[in-house]
Structure 1
Amino acid sequence: MNSREAIPVTVLGGSLGAGKTTLLNHLLTNAGDHDIAVLVNDMGSVNVDAELVADESELTVGGGVTELSNGCICCELQDDLETAVVRLARERSFDHLVVEASGVSRPGPVARLFVTSRAAARYDVAGLVTVVDARLFADTFVGGNPERTVAEDSDGTIQPLSDLLVEQVESADLVVLNKRDLVTDDEIAEVRDVITALRPSIDVVETTHGTVDVDHLLSDLHDPDAPVGWRAVLEAEAEEGEHDGHGDDHDDHDHDDSHGHGNEHGHDHDHSVVSHAEETYGITSFVYRRRAPLDPDGAEAVLGDLPESVVRSKGSLWIAGAEDVRYTYSQAGPSAYVTASGPWIASLPEFEQDTYRRNHPEIDWHDEYGDKRTELVFIGREIDEAALVEALDEHLLEPGATVVDQRYPVDAGEEFALAEPEGDR
């Protein structure tokens, strides 16, 4: 191999117990002409996965298998990962690197390291492969009985498992639906529907014991521009508005015109409309957009207790009482969070607003409220859209309304849980 050629990298992710190590051993056993180096990340101080990979292959820990232990390579071990992969490329000759991330790693940040760090000079990302435990995914998102609802990080903090499963799917180029034998045909169809809604046009392979075609697994799968479901819904809605000739500006329409729910708040400014994305794969989706702030308690009551029919929702919140702060809302299954994302552009000094708008002419801007809005995408099965819209509309307030007991964070990056699993159940 020409030493100046970039080495392709396949990042292998998935939840604990999904079958990543089994798939990796299958890959190594059937590698054929592929000369593979492996880096295994384990959360414990003893890298059990690295030993299992070495035991099942002709590689050895320290030989063909490199280990990073006692931390997660998508966060606290990123510097170690960068150092390890650069050293690998310098000291060994191989034609493909496979990184098995720990069960709590998010593959997106791992892949970005091979694009933005000094590792980018030696590597190219070939693909992000997520191994999904079909039984666990069905239990979590399609009406099963989940035994595990949380995942524990190396520092002992708890995160909802549903969050992790969604993020691992949304960043994938290939989803390996493992443990196919543990779900029915109807369940696997529903699981595929949800996965496709989270990551449209995703390549999905079903297997029982990680037996995936090696050439396909190591092929050039990566598409950094592949759509994520919630973002695709927003873009489709925006295009629909453009084709209709009205876009998002409805200054001549009041709340009563746009939805027919009545205008009990008396707003005559833009609330926009709820738009539909085309129903595909058995999943429905819609966008809720309003040019008015939500009462914080009301937002928490509705968005922290969404019906089970809502699998995924995400977007921006305009919260009364902290109207200069743009909040990002994210829900996956039973968990929901609000994060302070910094100020609205409309809250910045006028010269900064003007500069930003010149550099971003595509920004959705209202003459009176600027970029302030609540804009949420909901994805799920048979969502009662009218009921959800009505519930949110009941908590709309006038801009500038006085709100007491403001509990939402105001510093960028701070997070507030609206709903999260309390532990194993």
Structure 2
Amino acid sequence: MSTSALRTPLVLVAGVDRAAVARAATALFGDLPGAVLVHHDVRELGQGVVVRTVHMHAADGVRAETTAVELAHGCLSCTLRLDLLPLLVDLAHRADVSRVVLQLDPTLEPEHLCWAIDNLLLDDTPRAAATGRAEPAAAFVEVEAVVATVDARTWLDDATGADVLADRGLAATPDDDRTLAQLAVGQVAIADVVLLAGRPDDAWSAVRLAAVLDRLVPDAARADLDRWRPAEVLAGLGPEGRWSRCFTAHEPLLRGAPPLGEDAGVCLVRFRARRPFHPERLHDALDVLLDGVVCSRGRFWLASRQDSALWLESAGAGLRLGDAGPWLATYGDDPQRWVDVDPQRQVSAALRWDAEHGDRDVEIVVLVHQQIPGAVIAALDAALLTDEEYALGPDAWAELPDPFGAWHEEPCEAGTPADDDSTHVTYREDRS
């Protein structure tokens, strides 16, 4: 860094296809003077190691340093964090490094790493030693962009299918139960730049792919992987990257200004309600989000869990539900509980505040490609409490059968907390 006040730019490159990611990362490395290329190869996980390679420009060409990083207590996420975050800080302190390019293995999700960079505190940096105050890697590096590579011929099928990562040889660990759709959608949903590799099989497929991307990442730059100019594309990005908007259940669910109309069967469906879901009927209704749907996400109010805001996100045939912490209505007049609440969440809650139930509500956004929008609305609407059930009140709702079971903590999962002041817990169910 030229001065302590400046942070070194960081570009993350992600995608399902290893070769395409490598091409994009190499182009960035070669096109940006002073860039460093960092790659963690996880294909040797069976031997308990992650192979880290750092490429740097030198007077005599490009120098590569390869290191075998031992797997930390069997957890890939922790291994990457323990190795990558200090490395980023070290590189940021080098005067000859102007930018870091991080080439992600196909199994990695950029949102998780962005959250770790921004939130996990490091107590062994020189500044922390001098001040006694731990800081995140974000104090030294700034995520300039997330670049996602997309195989234009296969991505939409991958993003709407039911294959698990193990089916494609992409599972990070033996117990990695993520679906390919969750990975493919997650990598693109956070992207500032989408690079298309190849072309769809026909004009109709091209239109459908464009319609999906227009709605999933309306504000992302889009370019051809074979012909893009990295420096020009990065220079054209806005000052606020999508990477800083790691999903929480309480932020606006529609980012940017996506088209709201239908195109080639692709459209956004927005469902809102001011009463809770019946647990059993919602459990049955969730199947509508896993057929003919690219992805969905949102927060919801479950009658049997009056105090907790819950969230859901799906991609293809994969679904996750989780606890997003308490509704603000449970905070009462305790000023200490309100201190750390995000101001945007407070404003949003105030605009929809109900005298009896506070900020409790349902809002779910669904991106469909082969599903009838009305079917989504009808299924979710039928899962809400009826007028008779609603009239019984919260005490009666608490006694309703709840098929979702217990939520469980996942301390080593490379996930982002649903909210900063809550424990991140997830309920998974195989609906494929």
Q: TM-score, normalised by structure 2?
A: 0.72
Alpha-carbon offset, residue 228 of structure 1: 9.5
122, 126, 131: which one pairs with 2:144?
Answer: 126
**Runs of at least 5 residues in structure 1 that lack an aligned partner in the other structure:** 238-275
CA contact (8 A) 1:312 1:332 kept: yes
Matched residue SS, 2:154: helix
CA contact (8 A) 2:320 2:428 kept: yes
Map 1:356-375; keep pairs closer than 5 Å.
Answer: 360-363=346-349, 364-375=352-363
Comparing 357-366 with 315-324, greater Cα deviation is found at 357-366
In structure 1, C-alpha distance between the alignment counterparts of 2:270 and 2:246, rounded to whole Å: 15
Deviations 1:251-276 (A, max 9, x none): xxxxxxxxxxxxxxxxxxxxxxxxx9
In structure 2, C-alpha distance between the alignment counterparts of 1:414 and 1:92, rounded to whole Å: 41
In structure 2, C-alpha distance between the alignment counterparts of 1:222 and 1:174, rounded to whole Å: 11
Number of the residue aligned with 1:257: none
Give yes or no for the alignment of 1:319 onto 2:302. yes
Number of the residue aligned with 2:414: none
Number of the residue aligned with 1:44: 43
CA contact (8 A) 1:328 1:339 kept: yes
In structure 1, C-alpha distance between the alignment counterparts of 2:21 and 2:14, rounded to whole Å: 7
In structure 2, C-alpha distance between the alignment counterparts of 1:170 and 1:232, rounded to whole Å: 14
Q: 1:354 to 1:157 in 2, by over 3 A?
A: closer
Give yes or no for the alignment of 1:295 onto 2:295. no
In structure 2, C-alpha distance between the alignment counterparts of 1:69 and 1:103, rounded to whole Å: 20
**Runs of at least 5 residues in structure 2 that lack an aligned partner in the other structure:** 120-134, 409-422
220, 223, 228: which one pairs with 1:212?
Answer: 228
- Count of matched residue pairs: 374
Q: 1:154 to 1:144 in 2, by over 3 A?
A: closer
261, 268, 271: which one pairs with 1:279?
Answer: 261
CA contact (8 A) 1:292 1:373 kept: yes
Number of the residue aligned with 2:62: 59
Matched residue SS, 1:135: coil
Q: 1:138 to 1:358 in 2, by over 3 A?
A: closer
CA contact (8 A) 2:214 2:259 kept: no
Number of the residue aligned with 2:98: 95
In structure 2, C-alpha distance between the alignment counterparts of 1:41 and 1:358, rounded to whole Å: 34
Deviations 1:149-187 (A, max 9, x none): 785224642211211222211111101112x14633332
CA contact (8 A) 1:40 1:66 kept: no
Identity among equivalent pairs (%): 21
Alpha-carbon offset, residue 67 of structure 1: 7.5
Q: 1:27 to 1:68 in 2, by over 3 A?
A: farther
CA contact (8 A) 1:44 1:69 kept: no
Alpha-carbon offset, residue 193 of structure 1: 1.8
Deviations 1:264-294 (A, max 9, x none): xxxxxxxxxxxx9731655322321222222
Q: 1:385 to 1:6 in 2, by over 3 A?
A: closer
Give yes or no for the alignment of 1:417 onto 2:399. no
In structure 1, C-alpha distance between the alignment counterparts of 2:277 and 2:428, rounded to whole Å: 17
Residue identity matched to 1:308:
D
Residue identity matched to 2:406:
P
Alpha-carbon offset, residue 123 of structure 1: 2.9
Alpha-carbon offset, residue 344 of structure 1: 2.1
Q: 1:320 to 1:151 in 2, by over 3 A?
A: farther
- Which structure: larger Rg? 1
Deviations 1:33-83 (A, max 9, x none): 7232111122234667849999xx953332xx7786758886542232121
Number of the residue aligned with 1:136: 154
